[in-house]
Amino acid sequence: MTAAPQDNLAGLYPSHLAELKRRSEAALRLAQRDHLVIAAGRPILRFLDDSHYPFRANPHFVHWLPLGDAPGSWIVFTPGAKPKLIFLQPRDYWHVVPAAPAGYWVEHFDIFTVREPDAARALLPKDPARCAIVGDATAALEGYAPDNPQALMDCLHWQRSFKTDYEIAMMRVASRIGARGHRAAEKAFRDGASEFEIHIAYLAATHLAEHQLPYDNIIALDRHGAVLHYTHFDRNPPVHAHSFLIDAGGQFHGYNSDITRTWAAADAGEFQSLIDAVESAQQSFCAKVRAGQSYPELHVHAHHVLMQAMREQGFITCSAEAAVQNGISSTFFPHGLGHLIGLQVHDVAGFQRDEHGGTIAKPEGHPYLRLTRTLQPGMVTTIEPGVYFIDMLLDELRGKPAAREVNWSKVDAFRKYGGIRIEDDVVCTHGEPLNLTREAFAAV
């Protein structure tokens, strides 16, 4: 899938590049280096094998240009000079050789093509000691090993939290790709497909190979929805599927979407009522993605709202406040409300205090929260509340005093549904939040 005309990537890219230059100059000053050198990375061999794991480029490399399939390539940025791309295009008849760079971004780089990985050394800055080299160890050339200076990485990661308009356009396309897959997956579920068949329908609709997905698809029918990261894919459909939870995203030029939906079978009205309650709560949380909102406070607020819904639906008898205090809420909602997203699904700097590093602690009792910062314009976060019926956690709850506040007959009746999660990707702006996921579903 390509960008739609309204995304205007060519028009948005120059200001994006100018912002990256500004950020990189600041990071180089903090690290006291003269050159930023970014390695795309190299494919990694499987253990005791002569084949590689699927290649995924260094996100810092893809941040500069939409070139995710250029292993062995390098970017060099020196303040005051035009950025340089050292592009590896090997002579190789065993594999598909990357095509020569083309598109709206090439005029902004000095491009040098090399045929061997080691040939890049002659085009890198002469003094490696003056370089901040970003990448993993597998990308190293003699004398040019990635060192990822902490001061530089902290600064770049902090700034990556704030997406440019160009990046939002990329994520908008990734969201549309994901939404198209979700529509196909829901139809396959309604048609009685197995988990594996639903997964194949998703791939066909998105035109993504498995290694191009932002993360392994979660395709869970019935009780499998209670496994938070279920990736097994049963080949045989159940005799009658009661519920379907899908957590699957799209990817466009390295930018990701992360979308979850839960569906009830036509005859599962009681489960649909709980889905509707979680959906209503989730939309109210999305509306709070605004500048100045503490994400940990929003996460704790979500626990209270979800427990109020559980009380109204007849699963618990205590107040929402009591359910949060006595551990009931963590039994039914055991993960975090969401995380930053962008070049990585769980994007960097979710706990970072400022551009100089540091950590903002998670609230006590919430060990799985992935974002502890205060939201600011440009941040993109997921909002993914859930309610689950997880045997292990329910069995633990039965042994606690709070168990008397649980309507166990109703809880046990809902185990067959597994659980509910609803997830959108939401942009914090200077005003109303922008929900990329809802926009994408409306578009497809």
Closest CA to 30 of 186, 169, 155, 205: 155
- Domain of residue 81, CATH code: 3.40.350.10
* Bridge partners for 434 per DSSP: 427
Q: Same domain, yes or no, for 221 and 303?
A: yes
406 plus 274 within the same structural domain: yes
Residue pLDDT, tens place only, 31-76: 999 999 999 999 999 999 999 999 999 999 999 999 999 999 999 9
Phi, psi of 350 (to 5 degrees): -65, -25
* Spatial distance between the Cα atoms of 14 and 354, rounded to a whole number of angstroms: 27
Q: Are residues 108 and 195 in the same domain?
A: no
Q: For position 3, what pLDDT does the model report?
A: 61
Domain end point (choices 143, 160, 177):
160
pLDDT tens sequence across 175-228: 999 999 999 999 999 999 999 999 999 999 999 999 999 999 999 999 999 999
* Spatial distance between the Cα atoms of 385 and 279, rounded to a whole number of angstroms: 9
pLDDT for 94: 87
What is the spatial distance between Cα 351 and Cα 373, in angstroms, rounded to a whole number? 6
Identify whether residues 83 and 213 lie together within a single domain.
no
Task: Answer yes or no: do 315 and 333 share one domain.
Answer: yes
pLDDT in tens, 258-294: 999 999 999 999 999 999 999 999 999 999 999 999 9
> What single letter denotes the amino acid at residue 40?
A
Domain stop point among 114, 144, 160 = 160
Tell me: do 189 and 262 sit in the same domain: yes
Percent helix, strand, coil in the chain, to 5, is 40, 15, 40
Please check the confidence at residue 1 and state whether its pLDDT lies above 60.
no
Residues 253 and 145 in one domain: no
CB-CB contact of 220 with 244 (8 Å): yes
Whether residues 263 and 403 fall in one domain = yes
Domain ends where: 97, 128, 160?
160
> Both 254 and 386 in a single domain?
yes
Q: What is the pLDDT of residues 354-393, one digit of tens each?
A: 999 999 999 999 999 999 999 999 999 999 999 999 999 9
Do residues 69 and 140 both lie within one domain? yes
Q: Is 91 exposed, middle or buried (0-12, 13-18, 19+ CB in 10 A)?
A: exposed
Instruction: Please check whether residue 278 is in contact with residue 420, taking contact to mean a CB–CB distance below 8 angstroms.
Output: yes
pLDDT at 248 over 60: yes
DSSP for 383-424, please give it.
Answer: E--EEE--HHHHHHHHTSGGGGGB-HHHHHHHGGG-EEE-BE
Same domain, residue pair 147 and 217: no
Number of domains in the chain: 2
Confidence of residue 436 (pLDDT cuts 50, 70, 90): very high
Q: Name the 3-class secondary structure at 89.
A: coil
- For residue 4, what pLDDT band results from cuts at 50, 70 and 90? low
CATH of the domain at 238: 3.90.230.10
Place of tokens 């390098």: 74
Domain that holds residue 52: 5-160
- pLDDT at residue 93 in the model: 87
Residue 282, SS3?
helix
Q: Are residues 42 and 152 in the same domain?
A: yes
**Residues with Cβ < 8 Å from 394, sequence gap 6 or more?**
331, 411, 415
User: Dihedrals φ, ψ of 18, to 5°?
Assistant: -60, -40
